[in-house]
Copies of this chain bind each other. A is one copy, B any other.
Amino acid sequence: MEKKLVFTIGRQYGSGGREVGEKLAEQLGIRCYDKEILAKASQESGYCEEVFSNYDEQPVSALLFNVAIGNLNTFVGSQTPISMEAFLAQYHTIESLAEADSCVFIGRCSDYVLRERSDVINVFIMADDESRIERISARNGISKEQAESVMKRTDKNRASYYSYYTEQRWGDAKNYDLCLDSGKIGVDGCVEIILDFAKKLK
């Protein structure tokens, strides 16, 4: 890629958004960060990755649940709830990786984190329920009923996490530069259109 560009990929669960991000990065010869954001954030903040992973794109009410059941260890050694620590650590990790080089970020409010930058293309990948249920069921080796249940729960969690930290609505077209239905044109079709969009940037 000639000029530096950072891509963020929001995605409905089961839409193949992560695969779109990985293939996009591969074609451009740049890095794609998904769970790696969490690993880097925990290293840099000194927290254990396993602790942070409990809060990865999870609704903030999970914290209240911990309090409700008396699991107050969450707060030990910190005046900030650990969910917020995990968010802030990821925030700083995303900021510094975007500053350093062209790359792709999967989810984790990265579009919001990088909202002040002018070298970012924000993408959202969605698909019809049927395509997503099929993909989840095949990938995870579970029944279609189970896949539908996981899909609904995960989307709800992502929407809740996103809206809590950004005060915007997850999946609202106006937060992105382009949104694509992978059920209609497949993962490769999405990658080609994103590359074309990047070339057309004014």
Binding site for B on A (CB under 8 A): 12, 121, 124, 126, 169, 171-174, 176-181, 184-186, 189, 192-193, 196-197, 200-202
Residue contact A185 to B173, C-beta cutoff 8 Å:
no
Contacts of A126 in B (CB 8 A): 173-174
- Minimum CB–CB distance from A118 to chain B (whole Å) comes to 11
Specify the chain B residue showing the minimal Cβ separation from A15: B174
Task: Pick the residue among B121, B171, B178, B186 that contacts A178 (CB under 8 A).
Answer: B178
Contacts of A169 in B (CB 8 A): 169, 172
Residue contact A179 to B173, C-beta cutoff 8 Å:
yes
Residue contact B178 to A180, C-beta cutoff 8 Å:
yes
- Minimum CB–CB distance from A181 to chain B (whole Å) comes to 4
12 A-B pairs within 8 Å (CB atoms) are namely A126-B174, A172-B173, A176-B181, A177-B180, A178-B179, A178-B181, A180-B197, A184-B197, A185-B197, A185-B201, A189-B202, A193-B196
Specify the chain B residue showing the minimal Cβ separation from A12: B174
Residue contact B172 to A181, C-beta cutoff 8 Å:
no
Residue contact A192 to B200, C-beta cutoff 8 Å:
yes
- Minimum CB–CB distance from A16 to chain B (whole Å) comes to 13
Contacts of A12 in B (CB 8 A): 174
Complex alpha-carbon distance, A197 and B180, angstroms: 9
Task: Pick the residue among B172, B189, B197 that contacts A171 (CB under 8 A).
Answer: B172
